[in-house]
Chains A and B, each alone.
Chain A
Amino acid sequence: MGSWIQGPAEKYGGSFISNKPQQSDDARELAPAAGPAGKQSPFSPSHPLFWFGVVAAASVGLMAYSTSVRVGPASASVSLGK
């Protein structure tokens, strides 16, 4: 059979083959713009509150282990013994 005998899809392409939306070359090259980070888990390192939480947890943890804590003029301590 001659190679010139084709179906419309092989000959014209276009609407005979697909309904894929034509993608813009410009749109592919666009980088995400700076702006609100959007919904992120607070456990993600990129979330702003993550590092506050780390510092806060470390502070509370250290307070728990020390026998005396002083904040300004006030202090509290625990002691065992006779």
Chain B
Amino acid sequence: MAQAAERYMQGIAVPESAVRPGEFFARTRRKLGLEYNKTYAGLGAQDVVEIKKTDILSELTVRFVGTLTVTPGTGAVATTRRWPYDLLKKIRFTANGQSNLINVSGLKLKVHQFMRHGDLTDRGVSQSIAGSTVTQGTLAKSSESWGVGSGATAIAAGTYDVDLEWVIPVSEDQVDLMGAIFCATSSTDLSLMLDWATPAELFALTGNGAAALAGKVQVLAKRFSIPMADGTIIVPDLSQFHSLIEISKGDGLGLGANEIYLTGQGAGKTLIRLFSQVWNNNVPLPVTDANFGRLAWRYSGNETPDEIESGALMRQLNEKYYNTDIGKVWGFFSHEYAQENAFRDTVDLGTTAEFRQIIEIAAGVALSNPRVEYVAESIFVAGS
């Protein structure tokens, strides 16, 4: 008997007849459930969450809920600008032998959520940032609690409630599940690694000031059941992986135009967006004309398709795309390729050799230990 035609998706052989997207979406059932609920490993430590090998996984939500106890003593306690969302210093998600599909810091996941979901906005959610009350661009949700502000100084003694959430987009699109992971196989190796920031990265302590963070971490998974019909499974098109990779670079970053080469460029990858922050003296540089000149991307010799003349223009463009002012206090700026028309605007990394980002830091900026942290979000072939 002739062997049924097979496709290889995410390293797994799947009968050709099983790939029926329309029927899958009609028959599948969404499952939302808590998969991990434990006391967190502690600042500077790591939690490894093993993901269940079942169904098709599209999204993970990590929640930290606990309390921050501040004891200034005779000294003082302050938070750095890494607080609160870079409490999760690194989130790494590996699946099916593809090492680190997602490898970003917590704050990058927060801004990504607002970029991806235009109807999600932080307008009117008030938080304290660097001592000021901010109601635009906090990247916070009303249902979250920071406990204390970001970049807050001379924090009063007390116990503050902390309730933070990060969404990990396993699939690029929660509607059509592009990039979702097929988990129902013994050959699947899935893990989520949560690296917590060290105390020194979150708090600035003087004298005998102390800050203690206690709490638990919960991981909620969104899955979709795999229906059966005619003796075979029915799956959607799972021939893609979705990737969010963060690169941090400090060497050679200076005033004027900086050309930052994209790490991880390769054939078969489609770039969806490229977003960045410049950290200066451990504070993200707001995206203003005073801080940034030309922001552009370039490939080959001198092909420069997008060239935004100054920071303020880029910030306005991004707010228009995302309905959130990502550049105001967190200093994000983004080259967006999917928001208006992904088919038209996404960048094929296989045919844009020497892809690089141009970041011009304005002459008046006093640089101290500058770093650019950028995230390349791409979707790429994981089978045929």
On A, residues with C-beta under 8 Å from B are: 1-2, 4-8, 10-16, 18-22, 24, 26
A19–B350 contact, CB under 8 A? Answer: yes
Asked if B120 is at the interface of the complex by the 8 Å CB criterion, the answer is no
Asked if B237 is at the interface of the complex by the 8 Å CB criterion, the answer is yes
A15–B270 contact, CB under 8 A? Answer: yes
A12–B351 contact, CB under 8 A? Answer: no
A15–B344 contact, CB under 8 A? Answer: no
Q: Given A4-B175, A12-B343, A15-B381, is A22 in contact with B21 using a C-beta cutoff of 8 Å?
A: no
On B, residues with C-beta under 8 Å from A are: 21-22, 25, 173, 175-176, 178, 236-237, 239-240, 267-272, 299-300, 303, 338, 342-344, 346-352, 379-381
- Distance (Å) between the CB of A56 and the closest chain B CB? 48
Residues of B within 8 A of A7 (CB): 237
Q: Given A19-B267, A24-B303, is A12 in contact with B21 using a C-beta cutoff of 8 Å?
A: no
A4–B176 contact, CB under 8 A? Answer: yes
Work out how many contacts link A and B, with CB atoms closer than 8 A.
Answer: 70
Distance, CA A15 to CA B21, complexed state (A)? 21
- Distance (Å) between the CB of A57 and the closest chain B CB? 49
Q: Could you name 23 residue pairs across A and B whose Cβ atoms are closer than 8 Å?
A: A1-B21, A1-B22, A5-B25, A5-B176, A8-B240, A11-B178, A11-B343, A12-B270, A12-B338, A12-B342, A12-B346, A13-B270, A13-B346, A14-B347, A14-B348, A15-B268, A15-B380, A15-B381, A16-B381, A18-B348, A22-B299, A22-B303, A22-B348
Nearest 3 CB-CB pairs, A to B? A14-B270, A1-B22, A14-B346
Distance, CA A65 to CA B200, complexed state (A)? 106
Distance, CA A2 to CA B350, complexed state (A)? 31
Contact of B176 among A6, A21, A22, A26 (CB under 8 A): A6
B351–A21 contact, CB under 8 A? Answer: yes
Residue in B closest to A1 when the chains form the complex, CB atoms: B22
Interface hub of A5, A11, A21, A24 (most chain B Cβ within 10 A): A11
Interface hub of A5, A6, A26 (most chain B Cβ within 10 A): A5
- Distance (Å) between the CB of A11 and the closest chain B CB? 6
Q: Given A5-B21, A7-B237, A8-B239, is A15 in contact with B343 using a C-beta cutoff of 8 Å?
A: no
Distance, CA A69 to CA B237, complexed state (A)? 90
- Distance (Å) between the CB of B64 and the closest chain A CB? 33
Residues of B within 8 A of A14 (CB): 270-271, 346-348
A11–B176 contact, CB under 8 A? Answer: yes
Residues of A within 8 A of B300 (CB): 24
Residues of B within 8 A of A1 (CB): 21-22
Distance, CA A19 to CA B348, complexed state (A)? 8
Q: Given A4-B176, A8-B237, is A16 in contact with B270 using a C-beta cutoff of 8 Å?
A: yes
Distance, CA A13 to CA B349, complexed state (A)? 12
- Distance (Å) between the CB of B317 and the closest chain A CB? 21
Residues of B within 8 A of A16 (CB): 270, 381
B350–A15 contact, CB under 8 A? Answer: yes
A10–B176 contact, CB under 8 A? Answer: no
Distance, CA A12 to CA B176, complexed state (A)? 13
B342–A11 contact, CB under 8 A? Answer: yes
A20–B351 contact, CB under 8 A? Answer: yes
Interface hub of A2, A11, A15, A16 (most chain B Cβ within 10 A): A15
- Distance (Å) between the CB of A2 and the closest chain B CB? 7
